[in-house]
Amino acid sequence: MNMIPTAASGAPRAAPLAPPLARALDFLVADESAAATWVVGGGLRDRLSGRPVSDLDLVTAADALGTATRLAARMRGSLVVLDRARDIARVVWSGAAGPVTLDLARLARPDLTGDLAARDFTVNALALPLAADVAELLQRGGAPLAARLTDPTGGLADLADGRLRMVAEANLDDDPLRLIRGVRLAAELGLSVDGATRRAITARASSLSLPAPERLRQELLRALASPRAGMALDLADAVGLLDVLFGELAAGRGVQQSLPHDRDVRRHSLDAAIGAAWLLGRIEGERTAPVPARLNLPPVFVAAVDAAAPDLAPFFAQAPTMDELPRRAWLLLGALLHDIGKVRTAQADPLSGRLRFPGHAEAGAQMTRVIARRLRACAPGVAYLEGMVRCHMLPLWLSSGPPLDGRIVHRYFRAAGELGVDAALFSLADNAAKAPLETPGAERMAATFSSLMRAWFHERERLVESRPAVDGRSLQAALGLAPGPQLGSLLSGLREAVAAGEVAADDAESALAWARRRLPPAGA
């Protein structure tokens, strides 16, 4: 599998470098003190693979911090000193699709060959000397770039063959974060991990607890942001990294569940997350990937997701990032953790013997908050994960209850807010990671999902944000009420009545009449 586009292959011209990077390289070429400098690592690998580049790494035998300081001043970037002792600095610019960064570091070894030999994977142990045409070469990518690279470890051949291979086992020991980075790179680039590398990662899985939590979080979520997030989860599980990252998830191993479940809590959680990744891929336009064999995904679920995709695709694509990572990554992490509260809440029913998990969503939400803080997640990320786990059962309860009406839909989104969209989508994956659903149950779940999507994206003003023609002050003045629980209850009830079509949104008189009917009789 040749991943290096060439003119002969007919591959389309790769996307260019982010504009600040091209200008920064031109500046560095002209900076005499930046002699003996090379572009290295991921930026080269991504250009060879035809991927866009918004961050570059350079190494130099000169003064890295001094060069980065001049670059930031000349190019109006922000200077970040990453490691003063080791002479590593970053310049950051704002880009249309997010931050654009250039990292400059002094050689970690006496020469370039030694520096490359100390890197993690062969596809990252590539170097391009700084020269007058360096920006143009990176813009072009493909074979012209490959011909100019220094490649002492065979990274070009590995990239062309679709293989991820470590440079040396000792390099994994130097920074255990490289274990999860291998998973992330394999998923992002669609590479298979060679046998020796897989065994080396598995043997060192326990050392993944050593890196800083912030670094672990970013590598994991970057893997989940990949279109191949399901592959990343499978690989992280196969090499033993998931249990090290999340002991709370590992505790579900062997905790069996009653029907409709057909697998233990841990396996169900992993399969549900992989199912969510497949559905997100479907929404993002991947319509050829087969349904993972581990899932019992009814065709009616797929049809419902396909019908909602025109609304869901921009919803996820345009959602604000959290810790500079997209919403899809956080959804998949929430999916992985959604049932961790079951181990704490498991109870055997004394009559039926069925194992039940009362309150597991709330218990899991509290545990997830601890995990998110342990990973030093930003406040919005903590709130998102906690909310996802807390809300994940709501769509199932709706589908097993009475037919949906405006009042029920309004209450659902009042409880879940915008997370109601994510929870509804995840509910399909959650139920696909169980024994096969009978057709009526699958149809009810799909209909519930479709109704919730229609309410959020097409009837939000009436069903979700329903506003009666009177507000709290109007009710106080007309009914002689004081602020308090009674007033709040009347307002909530009025919003539900508007959503249910019992009160017209623009009719103040009918709203007041509705409220009067719910007041206790005088003197009561």
Q: Which amino acid is at 323?
A: D
**How many CB atoms lie under 10 A from the CB of residue 434?**
18
- Mean residue pLDDT of the chain comes to 91
Residue 113: alpha-carbon gap to chain centroid: 36
* Better-predicted residue by pLDDT, 249 or 19: 249
Greater pLDDT, 71 or 481 = 71
Amino acid at 154: G
- pLDDT above 70: percentage of residues in the chain: 96
Is-contact 241 205, C-beta < 8 A? yes
Taking only the tens place, the pLDDT of each residue in 419-475 is: 999 999 999 999 999 999 999 999 999 999 999 999 999 999 999 998 888 888 888
Does position 520 have pLDDT exceeding 80, yes or no? no
What's at 49, amino acid-wise?
S
Instruction: Answer whether residue 131 shows pLDDT above 60.
Output: yes
Mean pLDDT (whole number) for 160-177:
97
Of 47-51, 233-237, 239-243, 359-363, give the lowest mean pLDDT range: 47-51
Question: What pLDDT digit, counting tens, does each position of 241-258 carry?
Answer: 999 999 999 999 999 898
DSSP 179-212: HHHHHHHHHHHTPEEPHHHHHHHHHTGGGGGSS-
State the average pLDDT over residues 13-34. Answer: 80
Q: Kindly report the backbone phi and psi dihedral angles of residue 461, in degrees, each rounded to the nearest multiple of 5, phi listed first.
A: -60, -40
Determine the pLDDT at residue 445. 97
pLDDT greater than 70 at residue 223: yes
- Enter the DSSP assignment of 36: S
pLDDT at 9: 37
Q: How confident is the model at residue 505 (pLDDT cuts 50, 70, 90)?
A: confident
Q: Degrees (nearest 5) of the Cα angle 295, 301, 304? A: 150
Give the list of residues 6+ apart from residue 229 with CB closer than 8 angstroms, or none: 187, 223, 277, 280, 328, 329, 332
pLDDT (tens digit, 9 = 90+) per residue, 138-167? 988 889 999 999 999 999 999 999 999 999
